[in-house]
């Protein structure tokens, strides 16, 4: 047939062929153990530099990523909204000074996520220990933790400061109930769309009925 005549170059293998012309270039990884040791030393140095503050830095909120593909997951966001801080009774100006990230652009779209982050802030506040900026009695300010509670404080080395509680996505198989069999998701949505479409007309009719009375 009209196929290409096979002309495969099997001699060009990963080793040497004739001289160094066709020699394959390999990337070695002899420094793997040394890199591991260096990363560990860097982590320890960072922890010592940031002590007694958490190694992870600022406390971040739990958010749902955008798009349908990822919105069932949970991850850390940029910062807490002003509404979340207000609910937790924390001033937006005070928040960064006590290790809480603030994002004035983010908005809360549902009550569930708002409440989850408010609970996260309240838990953080309950565990928070504030060290005085200066030594001596004059250095102690209102809101600082008493000196008796600041002895042998362990540093927080967790990646998320407060771990994110991720729900189990797998649902265990079970029998379908009689209520589920009788109900129809299509009919429910159709009814909602119909109510939305005729909502204005219904209100207008009700208002006219009141005026006639």
Residues 21-29 have a mean pLDDT of 65
pLDDT of residue 136: 75
pLDDT of residue 92: 96
> At residue 193, what are phi and psi to the nearest 5 degrees?
-65, -40
Query: In a 3-state reduction of DSSP, which class is residue 64?
Result: coil
- Model confidence at 13, pLDDT cuts 50, 70, 90, reads low
Q: Which two tokens stand for residue 116?
A: 């989850």
- Model confidence at 6, pLDDT cuts 50, 70, 90, reads confident
73-130 pLDDT, tens digit each: 999 999 999 999 999 999 999 999 999 999 999 999 999 999 999 999 999 999 998 8
Q: What is the pTM of this model?
A: 0.68
pLDDT of residue 21: 57
pLDDT of residue 113: 94
125-153 pLDDT, tens digit each: 999 988 888 777 777 777 788 877 888 88
pLDDT of residue 169: 75
pLDDT of residue 18: 54
pLDDT of residue 210: 86
Average pLDDT, the chain: 88
Please work out, in degrees rounded to the nearest 5, the angle formed at the alpha carbon of residue 130 by the alpha carbons of 75 and 116: 30
- Model confidence at 7, pLDDT cuts 50, 70, 90, reads confident
pLDDT of residue 11: 59
DSSP string, 170-199: -----PPPHHHHH--HHHHHHHHHHHHHTH
56-69 pLDDT, tens digit each: 999 999 999 999 99
pLDDT of residue 85: 97
Separation of alpha carbons 84 and 101, rounded Å: 12
């Amino acid at each position: 047939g009209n196929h290409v005549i096979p002309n495969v170059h099997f001699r060009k293998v990963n080793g040497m062929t004739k001289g160094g012309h066709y020699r394959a270039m390999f990337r070695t990884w002899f420094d793997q153990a040394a890199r591991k040791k260096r990363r560990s030393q860097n982590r320890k140095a960072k922890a010592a530099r940031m002590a007694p503050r958490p190694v992870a830095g600022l406390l971040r909120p739990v958010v749902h990523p955008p798009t349908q593909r990822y919105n069932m997951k949970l991850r850390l966001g940029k910062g807490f909204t002003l509404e979340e801080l207000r609910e937790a009774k924390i001033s937006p100006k005070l928040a960064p000074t006590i290790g809480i990230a603030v994002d004035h652009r983010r908005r809360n779209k549902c009550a569930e996520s708002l409440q989850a982050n408010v609970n996260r802030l309240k838990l953080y506040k309950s565990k928070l220990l504030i060290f005085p900026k200066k030594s001596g009695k004059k250095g102690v300010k209102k809101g600082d933790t008493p000196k008796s509670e600041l002895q042998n404080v362990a540093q927080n080395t967790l990646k998320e400061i407060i771990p994110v509680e991720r729900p189990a996505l797998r649902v265990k198989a079970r029998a379908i109930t009689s209520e589920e069999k009788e109900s129809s998701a299509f009919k429910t949505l159709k009814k909602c769309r119909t109510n939305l479409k005729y909502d204005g007309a219904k209100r207008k009719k009700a208002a006219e009925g009141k005026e006639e009375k």
